[in-house]
Chains A and B, each alone.
Chain A
């Protein structure tokens, strides 16, 4: 029992993921600043933001359901932490997980997005409702290509459905990114995660220009801080899952630690550059992009995986 609580709360769960995820969000903001020839925020900025938010007053909107409004960020954090444990344990090679955990991860990764939608609808704000509807449509569009690429990965690994076995397979037979089908799958999943993280070009649920931060418009003070922590955790675990699926996972022993950091940083760099070089698309353009192009990519990846290329 004790070790599970340690896994959940400290390493690789809540504490580790929020600290490293905060660091990654700083890296992302710094890259954004450098791309725009600015200096960017100081190193401790994520910490300052969270502590400041925790110390501020929390306003609960008059119209809307107060209990749901306050509880949803907690569920979001809970879902993100649970999926962090399930992803980080096999990816870091601490424990092997169980057969079929990749399917559990797919479900758990949906909890934060779902709770954003419920929280936004509970706030009773019309702009939040617009944001929630966009977030729902976005979820409908990026889930299918993500699942299809997972199928392609499973086929490539010879029908293994546990993350640690997939990583072990890659360690002995070479990472999937090296094959054509793996490469196409990687691009597809990168796009899906861009949407899952709510970053430009798929940040229409939070479009601060048109709907004033959309789904989080009514959140303030400590519950907004919990949303931030959820975002930080997602910033770490989604790239970590990508490395697990395509780059043979991470490892913290000896010289491998540099190599692991390099893998994560490469993915963060890609995500940051995509977000800095693209405008925000409209929701129906995003749905078209995922349903037509990304599904096509994913199906090509599956066919190539069956052919063994």
Chain B
């Protein structure tokens, strides 16, 4: 593992994109910033612009309306960028699978690096998912 990859892992800046969520997953993500979980101790922080981001967190189903936006956001990111699907919605569709507005799971739209299921997933589960993703990157 080179210096580049090491520093990448030590300073993940996270951009949060809500494609069409019920807002519960988003609140759980904000939980990660609270003193109880404090992801800043791993060097992660939430950024406001996709240009700065290393990780794209997508919550909620990709609807027919947001599909083009998700694609655009993904193409605007400066690579390399990891995509993580948070919650049952972007992984499979969750409770909205049979919705008239469902444009398919997230990995049909953009490549996804990690899936974190749960409705909503616990903050611990998100942290565990990120750790597993980084470990799998190590092995490559």
Contact = CB atoms under 8 A, between A and B. Distances in A.
Interface of A: 29, 33, 36-42, 44-45, 47-49, 51-52, 55-59, 208-209, 212-213, 216-221, 224
Contacts of A212: 48-49
A49 B51 contact: no
Interface stretch (B7-15, B60-68, B98-106, B123-131): B7-15
Given A55-B4, A59-B78, A217 B43 contact: no
B48 A42 contact: no
Contact of B41 (A42, A55, A209): A42
Given A59-B51, A208-B47, 12 more contacts: A48-B10, A55-B4, A56-B54, A58-B78, A208-B48, A209-B48, A212-B49, A216-B49, A216-B52, A217-B48, A217-B51, A218-B51
B76 interface: yes
Contact of A40 (B7, B11, B40, B79): B40
Contacts of B3: 51
Contacts of A47: 7
A28 to B, nearest CB: 13
B41 A220 contact: no
A38 B7 contact: no
Interface string B1-44: 00110011011000000000000000000000001001011010
A38 B51 CA distance: 27
Contacts of A44: 10
B76 A59 contact: yes
A211 to B, nearest CB: 8
Interface of A is mostly: loop
Residue among B38, B54, B80 with max Cβ neighbours from chain A (10 Å)? B38
A266 B131 CA distance: 38
B41 A40 contact: yes
A42 B51 contact: no
B115 to A, nearest CB: 24
A16 to B, nearest CB: 22
6 contacts: A41-B43, A42-B41, A51-B4, A56-B54, A57-B78, A218-B49
Residue among B35, B40, B54, B79 with max Cβ neighbours from chain A (10 Å)? B40
A209 B48 CA distance: 7
8 closest A-B pairs (Cβ-Cβ)? Answer: A208-B48, A212-B48, A220-B51, A220-B78, A51-B7, A48-B10, A48-B11, A38-B38
Interface of B: 3-4, 7-8, 10-11, 35, 38, 40-41, 43, 47-49, 51-52, 54, 76, 78-80
Contacts of B35: 36-38
A48 B43 CA distance: 9
Nearest to A208: B48
Contacts of A55: 4, 7-8
Contacts of A41: 40-41, 43
Contacts of A42: 10, 41, 43
Contact of B49 (A52, A56, A213): A213
A52 B80 CA distance: 10
Contacts of B80: 56-57
A213 B47 contact: yes
B11 A45 contact: yes
A42 B10 CA distance: 9
B78 A56 contact: yes
A208 B16 CA distance: 13
Contacts of B78: 56-59, 220-221
A209 B30 CA distance: 13
Contact of A48 (B7, B41, B48, B52): B7
Contact of A39 (B11, B38, B47): B38
Nearest to B10: A48
B107 to A, nearest CB: 22
A213 B40 CA distance: 18
A212 B52 CA distance: 11
A55 to B, nearest CB: 4
